[in-house]
Structure 1
């Protein structure tokens, strides 16, 4: 007996891609199956776009983080904090982001964890929470 597969749910990225495409109802033909870009190879173009988007995302993220930190720290310290993140911290934030963007339960789980952490920090005395955060940022800037 063949196992019936569930119809695949449409992800938000599918909906947005259809909006960008403008006409998601048309079936791709052999003439339309190319990705615009510098290379005639569509796989190469896709890789180039991926690298460019990741680079732009990283620059944007670093710029925003430095800007937010400059409100409380001098420019050099803000730069050191952002650029000296540990590999573990980077991988943890990447993993949590992956979980949050893959499904609604994942987003709920991550959001709940963020709220719990915020509530925990607020339950500590304001002075000790601030001192612990500053100590952690100073340590990160020194590495």
Structure 2
């Protein structure tokens, strides 16, 4: 354990962590609870924003109802792959470069294979939408 962490832990045990008598900002007087609540709020907002963006991107091509069906019927694999890629990209600049390079390579490959990729992508999305 680091020296700084040990010092802070001792201060907390002695009640000296808030020497100036300042209150803890947030909904709860417990800072750990506030972090948990903030994390839940941010993640919920992120999920809602992501869904709205996905629907907006698909709506122009497939229509409102079909776009909604596609977004709601995404499989666990698609969700986990997106989550894994975003975590890798967010942890380090090397991860961001690797993920970005992979996305660029996939985009260039799809553009080169545009007609085949477009037909395949349409078929996959419409198949997912039809699972309702």
Higher normalized helix content (fraction of residues): 2
| Misfit runs of 4+, over 4 Å | 31-35
**Number of residue pairs matched?**
116
Asked if the contact 1:81/1:137 (under 8 Å) is kept, the reply is yes
Q: TM-score, normalised by structure 2?
A: 0.79
Cα distance change of structure 1 residues 87 and 29 upon mapping to structure 2, 3 Å threshold: same
Asked if the contact 1:35/1:46 (under 8 Å) is kept, the reply is no
Q: Which moved more, 1:30-39 or 1:48-57?
A: 30-39
Q: Which runs of 5+ in 1 are unaligned?
A: 1-27
Q: TM-score, normalised by structure 1?
A: 0.74
2:121 to 108, 133, 140: 133
| CA distance in 1 between partners of 2:91 and 2:85 (Å) | 10
Structure of greater Rg: 2
CA RMSD for the aligned pairs? 2.0
Q: Which runs of 5+ in 2 are unaligned?
A: 1-15
How many angstroms does 1:101 deviate by? 1.0
